[in-house]
Amino acid sequence: MAPALGQVERTSQLGLLAELKAAQSLAERRLARLRALSGTVPGKEIEAAESELVSVQGRLAAASEGAHGREALKAPVSGVLAASHVVAGQVVDARELVFEIVDPDSVFIEAVAYDSLDVATVRSASVASDAGSQPLRLIGASRRLRAQALPLLFGARAKGAGWRLPLGQPVKIQVALTSTVSGLPLPKSAVVRSPANLDMVWVKLAPEHFVPRPVSTAALDGERVLVVRGLAAGERVVVDGAALINQIR
């Protein structure tokens, strides 16, 4: 990166460089005269002249670097360049995002739980991707709700774990809890809405004879729900085409 200086700042910088170059020239000539008279002048004067010349040279190098130098950008971590937000010749401000570096062997996912969840009951978690299921561990949870949901942070570290999911992709996480609940698992397609806008399923009693049954459900995973009340063991529930039966009046 090259420093962006205004006209006034550049003029002041060039003036300072001219003064320092002149001071360096004077310090060099004075040191040369003192060294020529090393037998007649005290050694401390020669040492003071040498120290003054070194000081002027350092100030000149620093001022020249600030006016004409380039600053190298160094990432604080090693990884893979995920995104670049700059082009050649662009002017950037302080604290502006320039490059995004990601660790290819780490993955971090922020999830939101809309139901009340005790993080102490989380036993394991995983996320599905095209490369297969990726196990996750719970890193922590926020102590403040955000949009009426509890933010949770999951992560994993393994070889190539960061390559499985693109940065910013929305995913669904399956979380296994230590607590248990009794019920009957059904596909989500089996649960429809009654005219009173309540959850219900269609139970087959006989050929072409179906009756609606109000039920209470709980979330189970991404594809199934758990019926906790309203069904008895052995009843035959319509799991395919329940929405079509629900249209018959």
Whether residue 192 sits in one domain with residue 163: no
Q: What is the pLDDT of residue 214?
A: 92
Query: Which of 21, 39, 68 corresponds to the end of one domain?
Result: 68
Whether residue 139 sits in one domain with residue 155: yes
Whether residue 211 sits in one domain with residue 242: yes
Whether residue 166 sits in one domain with residue 112: yes
Whether residue 16 sits in one domain with residue 59: yes
Query: Which of 43, 68, 93 corresponds to the end of one domain?
Result: 68
Whether residue 61 sits in one domain with residue 38: yes
Q: What is the pLDDT of residue 6?
A: 62
Whether residue 168 sits in one domain with residue 112: yes
Q: What is the pLDDT of residue 215?
A: 92
**Quick check: is 86 in a domain?**
no
Q: What is the pLDDT of residue 154?
A: 93
Amino acid at 121: T
**Quick check: is 92 in a domain?**
no
- Mean pLDDT, the chain, rounded, equals 84
Contacts of 83 (CB under 8 A, 6+ apart): 99, 100, 167
**Quick check: is 93 in a domain?**
no
Q: Calculate mean pLDDT across residues 17-39.
A: 84
Q: Calculate mean pLDDT across residues 166-177.
A: 84
- The CATH number of whichever domain residue 202 belongs to comes to 2.40.420.20
Q: How far is CA 185 from CA 146, 164, 181, 182, in A?
A: 31, 30, 11, 10
Domains of the chain: total: 3
Q: What is the pLDDT of residue 7?
A: 65
Torsion of Cα atoms, 138 then 140 then 146 then 147, to 10°? 10
C-beta separation of 186 from 227 below 8 A: yes
Distance of CA 93 to the CA centre of its chain: 22
Considering only residues 114 and 55, tell me which one the structure prediction assigns the higher pLDDT: 55
Query: Which of 133, 150, 177 corresponds to the end of one domain?
Result: 177
Q: Which domain holds residue 124?
A: 105-177
C-beta separation of 228 from 210 below 8 A: no
Whether residue 114 sits in one domain with residue 173: yes
Q: Calculate mean pLDDT across residues 152-158.
A: 90
Q: Calculate mean pLDDT across residues 143-153.
A: 88
Q: What is the pLDDT of residue 236?
A: 92
Q: What is the pLDDT of residue 203?
A: 93
d(CA 122, CA 235): 33
Whether residue 170 sits in one domain with residue 228: no
Whether residue 208 sits in one domain with residue 166: no
Global pTM reads 0.54
CA angle at 111 for the pair 215 and 188, rounded to the nearest 5°: 25
